[in-house]
Structure 1
Amino acid sequence: MTVTVRFAPSPTGHLHIGNLRTALFNWLFAQRQGGRFVLRFDDTDKQRSRTEFADQIAADLAWVGVAPDRVIRQSERLALYDGAAERLKAAGLLYPCYETPDELDRKRKRLAARNLPPVYGREALRLTDDERQALEAEGRRPHWRFLLPNFADDPLQPQRTEIHWDDLVRGPQTVDLASLSDPVLMRGDGSYLYTLPSIVDDGDVGVTHVIRGDDHVTNTGVQIAIFEALDLTPPVFGHHNLLTTITGEGLSKRSGALSLVSLREDGLEPMAVASLAVLVGLPGAIDAMPDLAALAERMQFEGSSQSASKFDPSELDRLNADLVHAMPYADVADRLAAMSVPSTDAEAFWLTVRANCARVADAAEWAEVAFGDLDRTPELSDEDRQFVTAARDSLPEGAFGPETWREWTGALKQATGRKGRALFMPLRLALTGRDHGPELAALLPLIGRQRTLARLG
């Protein structure tokens, strides 16, 4: 059996970090098992689904390194769902209901007032053919509910019926079908809700494992029942905990909070985003993984948090900086070229400045320092200005190299008696305009003699 997983976003907005968490749990699990990853667009909602969102979702996944083995779109598979619905109707397992949303809401409120669970009472099963015809003559169009197998002989007398599964993340789980309403699978306009198309696709594609957020735990009992009603083998289910904002709010594609688009535009590296998306809430430290293979090795569901995990965006800055500080030149060569860093000095430049960059884009500031004109005038005391001017006359002869800074400052120390901060800081301010930055021993050869002389006045 080939392990097959799927990630099934609705193309109604941008992916956020919580969506990526689900996508990566599936992708990494499939990679470890030598399996397949299916990207399925749940786009049956014609009013809200957009092609541009689907394209952006594919681009976001590619940015992180996720390449689907297959892409399917539910809008192109309606005939499959129609066939499944007809089979359920023929078996008496999909029945028409005529209540309006307001009527259903009033029923729920009446049950709540009596301290009863808000479970649909299957009143539609009591309707005669004449009553159905009269309702349709009024202009009502039925929505269709799946009849849960939670009774012995009479569906109007439900009884405790347990569905069990061994959850990949949460361990043994039980849902009582008698505690649930018969789910609506089709709307009055004939369109499908999420459940039936998802089950039909999982069966058709051969999905073996469904890894998703724990807000679907209760749904799983219902879905297992529908799988079995359609003579399909239910997959192994796993439900991971959800991410919230630092204030505890849920994430939403429509709000744009922590969207991958915004994180990418902010200059973050994909592995910083992927590492935090996966590792938050799992056992062990949250470290920046260098690639998806390393992240797959770290991913483990055993011992993971059962409650929602708060996503702290500031952690992204730390992880991103860790990645950038260790990033080899080959990984940034194209980006440095876009900053007009001279190709002859680009590798030496990157190895000099990367420890001072939280994002690769920060290198642009140091490129101006090394190869351009200073964007700020250093503030020096009269005494320090005199020292800098004298230092200009003490520059070693010849081309600047890795020993130039040591030779120069060593001679200045002997000539002036200055040492430590009093010696180095005026030179740093004059040469870079900043009181911090890369090691000047490595930066000085990049600045070069001509710019050094100009900056020392």
Structure 2
Amino acid sequence: MTVTVRFAPSPTGRIHIGNARTALFNWLFAMNNKGRFIQRFDDTDIARSKQEFSDAILYDLHWLGIFPDATEYQSRRFEIYDAAVERLKAAGVVYACYETPEELDLRRKVRRTRGLPPVYGREALALSPEQIAEYQADGRRPHWRFLLPNFSSDPLQPERTEVHWNDLVRGEETVDLASLSDPVLVREDGTYLYTLPSVVDDIEMGVSHVIRGDDHVTNTGVQIALFQALAAEPPVFGHHNLLTTASGEGLSKRTGALSIESLRESGIEPMAVASLAVLVGTSENVAAVPTMGELAERFDAPATSKSAAKFDPDELFVLNRTLLHHLPFAEAQDRLIVLGVSDDKAEPFWLAVRGNLDRLADAVSWWRILREGPQEKPEFSDGDRDFLGQAFDLLPEEPWSGTIWKDWTGKVREATGRKGKALFMPLRLALTGLPSGPELADLLPLMGREGTMARRP
């Protein structure tokens, strides 16, 4: 059997780092098992789902390094769902209900006041033909519920019915079907809610493992029952913990919090996002992992904690710096060319400045300094100005060796008696305009004697 997983968001907004966690768990699981990854858009909510969001999600996944083997849209598969519903109706496990949302809400409130769980009481099963005809005459259209198999003979007398599965992440799990309402599969307007299309697609697409957030644990009991009603073997389920902010707040596509788009635009590297999204809330230490292959080696779904994974977005910037500080020129080259860093000095320049970058785009400011000098002329005291005059007089003629910075500052130290910060800080300010930055021993050869002398105050 080929391991087949799927990532199935609703295209109603941009995905965030929490969604990316689910996508990455599936992608890495498929990688480790030489399996298939299906990108499926659960877009049965026609009013809210938009193609622009589907396209944006695919772009975000590609940026992260996830490349689906297939892309599917539920909105194009309604005929398949229609056929499944007819099979379930024929089997007597789907029934019509005519309650309005207001009536259902009132019933839930009544049950709560009686100390009962607010589940649907299956009142629709007791409707007479005359009552149904009356509802239809009033223009009511039915919604359709799946009759959970939680009774012996009388569906109006549900009894404890446990569904068990060995969760890929959480271990042994149990859901009591008697504690749940019969789920609505089809709305009054004939459109589908999440439950039926998801199960039908998992069957049709040969999904072997469903890995998703632990907010779906209860849904799994219902879906296993639906798989069985459709005479299909349920897949292996795995439910990972959800990401929350450090204060415990959940993430939402609606707010755009920590969306992959916003992280990309702020200069975060894809592997910084992937490293944090996958490793936080597991037994692994969160560290900057440079490649997806290496991240796959560290990925172990059962090592995920059952409690929510709190993370600090500032960790992304720490991971980002670590990745950039070790990023080979060959991997940065194309992006540097786009930024205008592209001549024969590009590689030594990159090796000189990468250790000082928070974002790759920050290299542009150092490139300008290298080529044009300080962007803002620093102010010097009279003493420092005199010192710099002496120092620049001592700048050796070319050709220069790799020890030019050491050779020059050695001569300046002997001539002026300055050392330490009093020696190096005025030189750094004159050459770069900034009090800190890359090693001047690396930058000076790139400036050349002419470029260096042009910075003389």
Q: TM-score range by the shorter chain?
A: over 0.9
Equivalent position of 1:353 in the other structure? 353
Equivalent position of 2:330 in the other structure? 330
Residues in 1 aligned to 2:151 and 2:339: alpha-carbon distance in whole angstroms: 70
Deviation at 1:336, TM superposition (A): 1.9
Q: Do 1:170 and 1:306's aligned partners in 2 also have CA atoms closer than 8 Å? A: yes
Residues in 1 aligned to 2:203 and 2:342: alpha-carbon distance in whole angstroms: 56
Q: Do 2:164 and 2:172's aligned partners in 1 also have CA atoms closer than 8 Å? A: yes
Equivalent position of 1:116 in the other structure? 116
Structure 2 counterpart SS, 1:23: helix
Residue correspondence of structure 1 range 216-227 to structure 2 within 5 A = 216-227=216-227
- Residue 282 of structure 2 is aligned to residue 301 of structure 1: no
Structure 1 segments (4+ residues) deviating >3 Å:
none
* Amino acid paired to 1:170: R
Q: Deviations over 1:420-439 (max 9, x none)?
A: 11111110011110110111
Deviation at 1:254, TM superposition (A): 1.6
Deviation at 1:340, TM superposition (A): 2.5
Structure 2 counterpart SS, 1:455: coil
Equivalent position of 1:149 in the other structure? 149
Equivalent position of 2:44 in the other structure? 44
Moved more, 244-253 or 273-282: 244-253
Residue correspondence of structure 1 range 94-109 to structure 2 within 5 A = 94-109=94-109
Equivalent position of 1:212 in the other structure? 212
Equivalent position of 1:15 in the other structure? 15
Deviation at 1:194, TM superposition (A): 0.3
Q: Do 1:430 and 1:455's aligned partners in 2 also have CA atoms closer than 8 Å? A: yes
Deviation at 1:342, TM superposition (A): 4.3
Identity %: 63
Q: Do 1:41 and 1:73's aligned partners in 2 also have CA atoms closer than 8 Å? A: yes
Equivalent position of 2:250 in the other structure? 250
- Residue 441 of structure 2 is aligned to residue 441 of structure 1: yes
Q: Do 1:339 and 1:367's aligned partners in 2 also have CA atoms closer than 8 Å? A: no
* Amino acid paired to 1:434: L
- Residue 84 of structure 2 is aligned to residue 67 of structure 1: no
* Amino acid paired to 2:220: T
Moved more, 290-299 or 303-312: 303-312
Q: Do 2:373 and 2:455's aligned partners in 1 also have CA atoms closer than 8 Å? A: no
Q: Do 1:11 and 1:50's aligned partners in 2 also have CA atoms closer than 8 Å? A: yes
Residues in 1 aligned to 2:339 and 2:403: alpha-carbon distance in whole angstroms: 28
* Amino acid paired to 2:141: R
Equivalent position of 1:31 in the other structure? 31
* Amino acid paired to 2:436: H
Deviation at 1:444, TM superposition (A): 0.5
Deviation at 1:244, TM superposition (A): 1.3
Q: Deviations over 1:179-210 (max 9, x none)?
A: 11100001000100000000000000000000
Moved more, 395-404 or 428-437: 395-404
- Residue 184 of structure 2 is aligned to residue 168 of structure 1: no
Equivalent position of 1:55 in the other structure? 55
Equivalent position of 2:239 in the other structure? 239
Q: Do 1:282 and 1:299's aligned partners in 2 also have CA atoms closer than 8 Å? A: no
Q: Do 1:325 and 1:357's aligned partners in 2 also have CA atoms closer than 8 Å? A: yes
Say what the alpha-carbon RMSD is for the aligned residues.
1.0
Residues in 2 aligned to 1:446 and 1:370: alpha-carbon distance in whole angstroms: 7
Residues in 2 aligned to 1:394 and 1:114: alpha-carbon distance in whole angstroms: 93
Paired positions, count = 457
* Amino acid paired to 1:437: G
Residues in 2 aligned to 1:302 and 1:291: alpha-carbon distance in whole angstroms: 22
Equivalent position of 1:177 in the other structure? 177
Residues in 2 aligned to 1:265 and 1:357: alpha-carbon distance in whole angstroms: 16
Structure 2 counterpart SS, 1:40: strand
Structure 2 counterpart SS, 1:196: helix
Moved more, 206-215 or 367-376: 367-376
Residues in 1 aligned to 2:139 and 2:116: alpha-carbon distance in whole angstroms: 32
Residues in 1 aligned to 2:373 and 2:434: alpha-carbon distance in whole angstroms: 13
Cα gap change, 1:213 to 1:4, in 2 (>3 Å)? same
* Amino acid paired to 2:297: E
Q: Do 1:246 and 1:312's aligned partners in 2 also have CA atoms closer than 8 Å? A: yes
* Amino acid paired to 1:419: K
Q: Do 1:369 and 1:447's aligned partners in 2 also have CA atoms closer than 8 Å? A: no
Q: Deviations over 1:117-159 (max 9, x none)?
A: 1011100000011111111111111111000000001101111
Q: Deviations over 1:49-103 (max 9, x none)?
A: 1111111111111111111111111111111100000111111100011111111
Q: Do 1:217 and 1:239's aligned partners in 2 also have CA atoms closer than 8 Å? A: yes
* Amino acid paired to 1:117: P
* Amino acid paired to 2:282: L
TM-score, length-normalised on structure 2?
0.99
Equivalent position of 2:422 in the other structure? 422
Residues in 2 aligned to 1:342 and 1:295: alpha-carbon distance in whole angstroms: 31
Q: Deviations over 1:278-316 (max 9, x none)?
A: 111011210011111111111112342211112311000
Equivalent position of 2:125 in the other structure? 125
* Amino acid paired to 1:334: D
Cα gap change, 1:342 to 1:235, in 2 (>3 Å)? closer
Moved more, 294-303 or 202-211: 294-303
Residues in 1 aligned to 2:374 and 2:338: alpha-carbon distance in whole angstroms: 20
- Residue 317 of structure 2 is aligned to residue 321 of structure 1: no
* Amino acid paired to 2:81: Y
Moved more, 337-346 or 79-88: 337-346
* Amino acid paired to 1:423: L
Residues in 2 aligned to 1:249 and 1:94: alpha-carbon distance in whole angstroms: 37
Equivalent position of 2:344 in the other structure? 344
Equivalent position of 1:81 in the other structure? 81
Residues in 2 aligned to 1:188 and 1:150: alpha-carbon distance in whole angstroms: 25
Residues in 2 aligned to 1:258 and 1:396: alpha-carbon distance in whole angstroms: 52
Equivalent position of 2:274 in the other structure? 274
Residues in 1 aligned to 2:297 and 2:38: alpha-carbon distance in whole angstroms: 21
Structure 1 counterpart SS, 2:37: strand
